[in-house]
Amino acid sequence: MPDSHTYLQQVLQDLGLNLQAFAGSDCTIRAPRDGAVLAHLKWCGAAQAQAQIANAQRASQTWRNVPAPVRGDLVRRLGELLRRHKAALGALVSLEAGKITAEGLGEVQEMIDICDFAVGLSRQLHGLTIASERPGHRMMETWHPMGVVGIISAFNFPVAVWSWNAALALVCGNAIVWKPSEKTPLTAIACQHLLLQAMAAFNADRPGTVPEGLSQLLIGGRELGELLAASAQVAVVSATGSTRMGRQVAVKVAERFGRAILELGGNNAMIVTPTADLELAARAITFAAVGTAGQRCTTLRRLIVHESVADALLARLAAIYGSIAIGDPLTDGTLVGPLIDRAAFDAMQQALAQARAEGGQVLGGERVREDLGQEAWYVRPALVQMPQQSAVVQHETFAPILYVLRYDGDTDMAIALQNAVPQGLSSAIFTQSLMDAERFMSAAGSDCGIANVNIGTSGAEIGGAFGGEKETGGGRESGSDAWKGYMRRATNTINYSGALPLAQGVRFDV
Ligand code: NAD
């Protein structure tokens, strides 16, 4: 197994990145794979953060006047740099967030994909033409930049979530200010470094087009997130993280009538009906429940399985869980890497104790691979059969715990069980019945932002709008028309009649 520190040096060299400017003693960054110290960094102070936000605000006033397709060219250049450095940035994600190699690379691929999407979008920020009720009048909608978009991100998708927001916000004509997770600042420094390179190359070809300060990075703790949420200079706050965080950010942003895009916790379920292809379901369940060591917002946390197929499916899952490769995320063949830190391990053990107290039967969940480091927290994913959807099942524990609930009624009963939690991010049904599948996707079906058929709950493509309802926050990011969240809409009415007719037939003769 390569030494984390040496590995980091190789990655930084590939990226042409020197961490010296960020060195300090405010925080220590460790590699989850072995607990090794990667860096000691300084945090950004409040006054400096305010100055950076003001800088971004100034930059936004220039950037908004650059034609959108030209703005797209900047994001195209970022995408090219990401292609060139995919292996190094992916490895840095694995090193800092503990993701297996394929998932680290997958995250960077997602960044490349959203850049491509945003470049196309830069020529399609369309408004509508609307029929006017008045003669000689035309109505239309135009879309304009908001100003500064603040991005608060979580540790578990340290780079992809930024790119979803940054690529769209930039083509939509905004400046960006990013407050990454305090657990994963190195990947953020690397992304900012690549974007600054793209900007420099862009300005070399089109002098003065990208204003200084267009993209700002704030390294530090939650206080900086609070500062972004409270700042009247930040028109949009896109916050990804726990429901606890979102509840605080939502209030702060609402108090000043700002716009919030909230991407918060999930408690995702899969329904397995009597007609399901069980082998397909077992494979989908495994990826969704144990992938990224259960640390995805879309991780499968609840399996709602029909009594008639439950024993067969559980036997298959128990066999898979018993043989799954857990270990160093940078080693080929590993499927489950470490938890992010000790606090995540403690939270998992607490949840398992609560599940036992609520009548659950727990398989797995114990610490493994202590040989990889005292401060490396690997666990065997847990399968927990629950007698009912009790308190622990209704709560998102950010670890690989899959609660299994059986149902013996019709599919409506399973859907009701699925919807009876506070969160509403992702959901899935495995079935060969067209009627069950359609019912699941109907108005009376899943209440989540994502409702899949014969696919697991995680691993969404960037082309669709991503996000969820209820305590997941209601925000949408990435594809479809999520770009509208980064722009303001103006309705324009143009009178070319020479008369002044009023709407609704109102007469006001002067
Ligand atoms: P977290 O809420 O602890 O932290 C997320 C970010 O919010 C960090 O940058 C943190 O510094 C900041 N923050 C914390 N409190 C804040 C406050 N009061 N005001 C402003 N900023 C604050 O989350 P985490 O542990 O990093 O990530 C895991 C959580 O994120 C899970 O709940 C997961 O479901 C969720 N998540 C959701 C999505 C989604 O798209 N819905 C995606 C990824 C992660």
Say what the pLDDT of residue 2 is: 75
Residue-wise pLDDT tens digits, 296-337: 999 999 999 999 999 999 999 999 999 999 999 999 999 999
Q: Which residue has the tokens 């509208």?
A: 484
Do residues 273 and 410 lie in contact, with contact meaning Cβ atoms separated by under 8 Å? no
As a whole number of angstroms, the distance between CA 505 and CA 139 comes to 17
Mean pLDDT, residues 181-206 taken together:
98
CB 143: neighbour CB atoms within 10 A? 18
Q: Which of 179, 222, 248 to mutate to test the pocket of ligand 1 (most atoms within 8 A of CB)?
A: 222
Residue-wise pLDDT tens digits, 133-150: 999 999 999 999 999 999
Among residues 96, 103, 263, 477, the one annotated as catalytic is 263
In terms of Cα–Cα distance, which of 187, 188, 14, 180 is closest to 85? 14
As a whole number of angstroms, the distance between CA 243 and CA 154 comes to 12
State the pairing for strand pair 361-363/382-385: antiparallel
Task: Please give the distance, rounded to the nearest whole angstrom, from the Cα atom of residue 160 to the centre of ligand 1.
Answer: 14
User: ipTM of this complex > 0.95?
Assistant: yes
What is the four-CA torsion angle of 393, 395, 396, 401, rounded to 10 degrees? Answer: -30
State the pairing for strand pair 148-152/236-240: parallel
Say what the pLDDT of residue 425 is: 98
Mean pLDDT, residues 64-87 taken together:
98
Write down the mean pLDDT value for the chain. 97
As a whole number of angstroms, the distance between CA 147 and CA 284 comes to 41
Encoded amino acid at 47, one letter: A
As a whole number of angstroms, the distance between CA 240 and CA 176 comes to 15
Phi-psi region of 293 (alpha: psi -120 to 50; beta: other; left: phi over 0): left
Say what the pLDDT of residue 158 is: 98
263 tagged catalytic: yes
- For 328-382, what is the HEC assignment? CCCCCCCCECCCCCHHHHHHHHHHHHHHHHCCCEEECCCEECHHHCCCCCEECCE
The reported pTM is 0.98
Residue-wise pLDDT tens digits, 207-250: 999 999 999 999 999 999 999 999 999 999 999 999 999 999 99
Number of helices (H) and strands (E), helices first, in the chain? 14, 23
Question: Can you tell me which atom of ligand 1 is nearest the CA of 221?
Answer: 11
Task: Please give the distance, rounded to the nearest whole angstrom, from the Cα atom of residue 184 to the centre of ligand 1.
Answer: 12
Kindly state the percentage of the chain with pLDDT values over 90: 99
Mapping DSSP to helix (H, G, I), strand (E, B) and coil, where does residue 94 land?
A: helix
Say what the pLDDT of residue 1 is: 64
Do residues 452 and 429 lie in contact, with contact meaning Cβ atoms separated by under 8 Å? yes
Mapping DSSP to helix (H, G, I), strand (E, B) and coil, where does residue 233 land?
A: coil
Q: What is the DSSP string of 278-309?
A: HHHHHHHHHHHHHGGGG-STT-EEEEEEEHHH
Do residues 52 and 150 lie in contact, with contact meaning Cβ atoms separated by under 8 Å? no
Radius of gyration of the chain, Cα coordinates, nearest whole angstrom:
24
> Residues lining ligand 1, judged by CB closer than 6 Å?
152-157, 179, 181-182, 221-222, 225-226, 229, 240-242, 245, 248-249, 263-266, 297, 396, 398, 425, 472
Sequence-separated (6 or more) residues with CB below 8 Å from residue 120? 72
CB 419: neighbour CB atoms within 10 A? 17
Q: Which domains does the chain have, with CATH numbers?
A: 46-264+473-490 (3.40.605.10), 268-453 (3.40.309.10)
Residue-wise pLDDT tens digits, 402-454: 999 999 999 999 999 999 999 999 999 999 999 999 999 999 999 999 999 99
First vs last Cα of the chain: how many Å apart? 85
Residue nearest to atom 20 of ligand 1 (CA): 225
